């Protein structure tokens, strides 16, 4: 569950407790809202077909008012893969009105135990909507090394009209945490967004050197399938001291499949590098399996003909969260223009990615009087296999799922028509609706629907089952639990949660 998910859960807690508090019970008129104690959260892949993560959420340090609304304190959430591998833990600090003010995410190492990175988020400059979403402003971000405590990056993400519009990141030296190594600027204005969900379009990325000169310009294209996956990255690298292009790089992700957490799982990334005149410089195929690189093949060209070829074998390597080699070794085989094997190098790395050993073996080469292979001849051997099936579902029309059986009216009960509360923006557009269904005066279900800035398009909906909420005679606080399902766009399952009073 991401920070944005946690923010959404905070707003939802306030919605749920206001429903419980506002609806009087025949046996306990005017029952006040209650304080949640803990809960479980299961999130799903972008298409809703697979479990992505399971988590625990704690409200032990959350402050609740008498009506059940959040007034301060903090919320803690930890997540793991469905197989039990820890992913991250998140702590959100809450201010007046239950609005998040600070957040810290500890990201676990991909391999083994321990924290890989610590991310701090400053939400104090964010302006919130009446429905509890980020409306405008900026989130400040910083990361630090969990061992040294030194800052590794700082930056911000800017928001406008309930969508992120731009971002900036400064990278610092690992030696002192203060020396600037590079800067990155992100422009999201060309990205098709539904709330915070990427539906397609292009993102612009500008990278700068420490002296603010531009080192490269990139355009990241997303697949138009609503799953937030990259289609292609095009980059122009610039010379130091000028705006002259030194090379153009195109990375094609069309043969990649993804896992439930939207991480690269298997398949090939094809990377072409050309000169300023579009002449071929190199072509690489990086193959993935089990969410990590397995092999990389690179052909280098000079004057339109093959100069050499390298093949890197990662089968004995492990990788950190940035796919850097740690705790293992790689083997690099080099072939000449005639594709004769000329050398093999084994490189070993320690747990920090530093080289601990390097050994090279060379091989005798037999002179062969053959014409060098042209780029066209070599390119004819490259194949681009289709991505493996990944249970991709196309976005559906925004039709709300049918009510769960547990929330259906039971024989002998009196079910009232749903009572709907509308939340509108200052411009009059509809931001959210809360439709509550009651039986014998007790709320049994609710649907909380959030709309895009047009007031019509569904961003997300929560289906809330209140049948397990109990307000016992003589008690002013509820007990039991609340079950929730979240649907992106109103149709695709994103999460399932249970909150316990």
Do the domain assignments include residue 271? yes
Distance between CA 234 and CA 217 in Å, rounded?
A: 8
Do the domain assignments include residue 247? yes
Do the domain assignments include residue 147? no
Give the number of other CB atoms < 10 A from CB of residue 92: 23
Cα dist from 102 to 91, 106, 140, 266, whole Å: 8, 14, 9, 36
* H or E stretch at 97: none
Do the domain assignments include residue 489? no
CA triple 484-489-490, angle to 5 deg: 45
Do the domain assignments include residue 407? no
Do the domain assignments include residue 52? no
* H or E stretch at 13: helix 3-22
- Global pTM reads 0.88
What does the block give as tokens for 422?
């509308």
Owner of token pair 């091989």: 363
Do the domain assignments include residue 331? yes
Q: What is the pLDDT of residue 398?
A: 37
**What is the DSSP track for 83-117?**
TS-EEEEEEEEE-GGG-EEEEEEEEEPSSSSSEEE
Number of domains in the chain: 1
Closest CA to 271 of 280, 282, 258, 259: 282
Residue 339 belongs to what domain range?
228-391
Backbone angles phi, psi at 469, to 5 degrees: -85, 130
Distance between CA 377 and CA 335 in Å, rounded?
A: 16
Distance between CA 468 and CA 412 in Å, rounded?
A: 18
Residues in the chain: 501
Cα dist from 333 to 284, 310, 354, whole Å: 14, 6, 20
Classify 326 in phi/psi space as left (phi over 0), alpha (psi -120 to 50) or beta.
Answer: beta
Number of H helices, E strands in the chain: 2, 33
* H or E stretch at 72: strand 70-80
E strands present in 355-452: 355-362, 419-424, 430-439, 442-451
Closest CA to 200 of 220, 173, 178, 179: 220
Distance between CA 485 and CA 501 in Å, rounded?
A: 18
Backbone angles phi, psi at 100, to 5 degrees: -60, 135
Do the domain assignments include residue 31? no
Owner of token pair 């004769």: 340
Count Cα atoms within 13 angstroms, Cβ side, for 310.
16
Q: What is the pLDDT along the chain (501 residues), one digit of tens a residue?
A: 566 776 777 767 776 777 766 544 444 444 455 688 999 999 999 999 999 999 999 999 999 887 778 889 999 999 999 999 999 999 999 988 888 999 999 999 987 679 999 999 999 999 999 888 899 999 999 999 999 999 999 999 999 999 999 999 999 999 999 999 999 999 999 999 998 899 999 999 999 999 999 999 999 999 998 899 999 999 999 999 888 999 999 999 999 999 999 999 999 999 999 999 999 999 999 999 988 999 999 999 999 999 999 999 999 999 988 888 998 999 999 999 988 999 999 999 998 889 999 999 999 987 766 778 899 999 998 865 554 444 444 444 334 444 443 444 445 555 567 889 999 999 999 999 999 999 887 889 999 999 999 999 999 999 999 999 887 766 667 889 999 999 999 899 999 999 999
* H or E stretch at 14: helix 3-22
Closest CA to 493 of 407, 360, 391, 365: 391
């Amino acid at each position: 569950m991401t920070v944005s998910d946690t923010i959404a859960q905070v707003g939802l807690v306030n919605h749920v407790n206001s429903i419980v508090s506002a609806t009087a019970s025949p046996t306990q008129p005017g029952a006040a809202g209650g304080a949640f104690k803990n809960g479980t959260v299961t999130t799903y892949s972008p298409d809703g077909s697979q479990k992505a993560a399971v988590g625990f959420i704690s409200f032990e340090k959350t402050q609740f008012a008498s009506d059940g609304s959040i007034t301060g304190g903090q919320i803690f959430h930890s997540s793991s893969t469905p197989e039990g591998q820890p992913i991250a833990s998140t702590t959100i600090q809450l201010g007046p009105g239950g609005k998040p003010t600070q957040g810290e995410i500890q990201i676990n190492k991909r391999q083994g135990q321990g924290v890989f990175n610590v991310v701090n988020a400053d939400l104090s400059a964010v302006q919130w909507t009446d429905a509890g979403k980020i409306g405008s402003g900026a989130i400040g971000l910083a990361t630090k090394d969990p061992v040294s405590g030194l800052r590794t990056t700082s930056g911000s993400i800017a928001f406008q009209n309930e969508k992120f519009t731009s971002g900036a990141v400064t990278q610092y030296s690992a030696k002192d945490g203060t020396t600037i190594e590079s800067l990155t600027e992100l422009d999201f204005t060309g990205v098709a967004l539904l709330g915070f969900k990427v539906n397609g379009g292009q993102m612009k990325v500008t990278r700068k050197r420490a002296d603010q000169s531009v080192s490269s310009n990139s355009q990241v294209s997303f697949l138009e399938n609503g799953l937030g996956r990259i289609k292609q990255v095009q980059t122009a690298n610039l010379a130091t001291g000028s705006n002259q292009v030194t090379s153009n790089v195109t990375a094609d992700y069309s043969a990649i499949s993804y896992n439930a957490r939207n991480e690269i799982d298997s398949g090939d990334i094809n990377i072409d590098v050309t000169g300023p005149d579009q002449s071929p410089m190199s072509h690489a195929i990086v193959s993935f399996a089990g969410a990590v690189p397995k092999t990389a093949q690179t052909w280098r060209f000079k004057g339109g003909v093959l100069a050499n070829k390298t093949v890197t074998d990662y089968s004995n390597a492990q990788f950190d969260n940035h796919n850097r080699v740690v705790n293992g070794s790689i083997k690099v085989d080099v072939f000449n223009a005639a594709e004769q094997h000329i050398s093999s190098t084994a490189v070993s790395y320690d747990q920090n990615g530093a080289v601990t050993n390097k050994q090279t073996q060379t091989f005798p080469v037999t002179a062969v009087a053959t014409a060098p292979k042209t780029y066209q001849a070599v390119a004819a051997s490259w194949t681009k296999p289709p991505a493996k099936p990944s249970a991709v579902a196309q976005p559906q029309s925004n039709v709300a799922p049918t009510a769960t059986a547990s929330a259906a009216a039971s024989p002998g009960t009196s079910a009232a028509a749903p009572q709907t509360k509308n939340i509108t923006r200052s411009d009059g557009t509809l931001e959210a609706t809360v439709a509550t269904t009651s039986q014998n005066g007790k709320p049994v279900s609710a649907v909380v629907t959030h709309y895009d800035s047009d007031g019509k398009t569904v961003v997300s909906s929560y289906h809330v089952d209140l049948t397990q909420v109990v307000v016992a005679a003589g008690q002013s606080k509820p007990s039991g639990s609340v079950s929730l399902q979240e649907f992106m766009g109103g149709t695709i399952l994103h999460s399932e949660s249970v909150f316990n009073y």
